Structure 1
Amino acid sequence: MKNKQVIRSFWTLLLLSSFFCCSEKKNTGTLVREEASDRIRQENEKLILFFGNSLTAGYGIDEEDAFPALIQDKIDSLELDYRVINGGLSGETTASGLNRLDWFLEEQPYIFVLELGANDGLRGIALTETRKNLNAIIEKVKTSYPDTKILLAGMQIPPNMGPEYTASFRSMYGEIMTQQEVGLIPFLLEGVAGNPDLNLPDGIHPTEEGHRIVAETVWKQLYPLL
């Protein structure tokens, strides 16, 4: 009797061991398949690169609350195969942006959103220099990837530099759009600029709510390109 119980216990343990072993293999196999599926999905995703300054970077707020991340949320909700890269850097001018552009062009962007120039304007940099740099950035993207769609984010500045400079700065983006035949967001901060409730205490950078409005402004021009 005792031997029979020992044998019966042995077979029970063997069966349980076999079951858990198979279960573990099954779970491991499922995990491997899911990881492979995620890799394939990421490889098939088209890249949307937001290349800009602190407005793109989301200065003063968490990056997931900045408008590029909100655009990714919209894309994900529609189950579209696009991946957003936030290439914003606080303090960026058109000149420094041109210098670091190559780092972001190692992978082809399907859409390139160019948001630069505001810091040039606030510093009173000659518009000929700003215009030259914006054109150079666009031309470098076109040369590297002729099929990439380019969207230029228009900007306006306070009248501190005088009415002539301010007006010329505002019209510069539309002129570049026409010359380079690219898309245009007429004014990135439409409905946000000048509203203290939608900007941080510095009066320049949008709050989380401000970024939600900016995301809607960008989406109107971006969505038709997807």
Structure 2
Amino acid sequence: MGWIILALLAALAFGALWFFVRPGKAGLQLLAAGILFACAGYAWQGHPDLAGQRRLPAEREAAAADSSFSAMRQEMLGRFDVADSWLTLSDSYLRAGDTQGAAQLLRSALRGHPNNAFLWIGYGNALVLHGNGLMSPAAEMAYRRAAVLAPDHPAPRFFYGLSLAQGGHLDEAERIWRDLLATSSPTAKWRAQVQAQIDLIERARAVAAMQRAQMGEGTAPGGQVQR
């Protein structure tokens, strides 16, 4: 299809220039050479055999690019192992806004590594992002599978709570994180990450309470605005 469009555009360009400009024989030769040069450049750099791909909304692309999982996973999960390689590749899909591709990639990785807890965590995260923050049954299953495979590791509970918080379930996320802190070693390096997420929830609640108070101050009983 790309070659057909290219040929039509070249013919239209040649015909329009010949009709309006009326170049001489030398001009026609120069014009034909220029169009052929442009076609050669397209054949070299373009991909006319590839199907078009629908662009995702900018908001969704930004959300995928700013995934908290991508920002925190290497500190929590480590790097330079088989899971990190797959998750890094999945991140490239997320940055492009292709959340479905990221989820499908990790599902394929899990066929070869079904007992890798970190891949299950990444799969759950990709499913949540693909669902625009919704914790689907498949995502829930992925996080639970990770918890079964790595019961002593903080990552399954931490990232499960993170997905819940991003979906607006702040109370449940805070409960999971506080329980994680209560059952972990006081010297664990990742405790600061967990506490930081709890602090964010507390600040969000404080801001919401302040906004409600400000709205209440401006409204008299009976719904009349005070002046």
- Return the TM-score normalized by structure 1: 0.30
- Greater share of strand: 1
Name which structure has the greater RCO, CA cutoff 8 Å, separation 6+.
1
Return the index of the structure with the highest Cα Rg. Answer: 2
- Return the TM-score normalized by structure 2: 0.30
